[in-house]
Structure 1
């Protein structure tokens, strides 16, 4: 399976820098790369909100539009994975890792037991 380590440099309540390393498929790597771009400069609260929006977006049926008032920027490119429910786990792995970090959960994160999206 895919493995990923996420690094967050947090100063006060702001994410100053983000990085990741690991091995995984192209989808999880692309998702992690896009995630790091989006997170820089956000507050921890904004990062939590972004996780919620991205997770909701990725686990909706393929024809579901981005909700009004939600700006995902380049992250909308990940929406194509919704056509392949088994691969949604790949796209959400970096985001679940972020969510664990934001909530100070130190145990490894897995998406293996997660049901396929929109089933």
Structure 2
């Protein structure tokens, strides 16, 4: 990535952080929801979406996080809105591979602006948190997605006490 590309990508990330799309938003009639947390950067988001006829009809997110997390969530909502479930899952894998493994950023369109994040290993978790939260929402997991795996630092939904 050359210097001009890096500057352009940084500007897009900052723009999506300053003015995130589909935020704060909990779409009316949401059918899927998940929460994600990154204790290393204190990013915490919730993804809400409406899935109908195998397509993401509406999507939004709430929460707070660093510029990279918020920009990634904003870019993600734009990228998957109106997409069929299979395309969304495929896009998740391509973005994850780009972020975590420095795989070629092919077939991901504007999401390529996140390509440089792999150079900063601590920030990969910030950029990937919204995507893992989306995946958890699609799979209807009840646990909070945590970048550090099961951890006392990651809040879990409260469980009712067993009857005595």
Q: Please report the TM-score for the alignment, with normalisation by the length of structure 2.
A: 0.63
Alignment size in residue pairs: 109
2:52 corresponds to which residue?
11
- Three-state SS of the structure 2 residue aligned to 1:107 is coil
Kept in 2: contact 1:89–1:112 (CA 8 A): no
Alignment counterpart, residue 89 of structure 1, candidates 106, 110, 125: 125
1:65 corresponds to which residue?
104
1:38 corresponds to which residue?
79
- Three-state SS of the structure 1 residue aligned to 2:145 is coil
RMSD: 1.5
Ranges in structure 1 where 5+ consecutive residues have no aligned partner: 114-119
The structural deviation recorded for 1:112 is 2.5
Deviation string 1:38-96 (CA, Å, 9 cap, x unpaired) is 001111111111111110111124xx532xxx411110000111110111000000000
Pairing 1:24–2:60 present: no
2:136 corresponds to which residue?
100
Rg larger for: 2
- Three-state SS of the structure 2 residue aligned to 1:65 is coil
Ranges in structure 2 where 5+ consecutive residues have no aligned partner: 1-41, 150-164
2:32 corresponds to which residue?
none
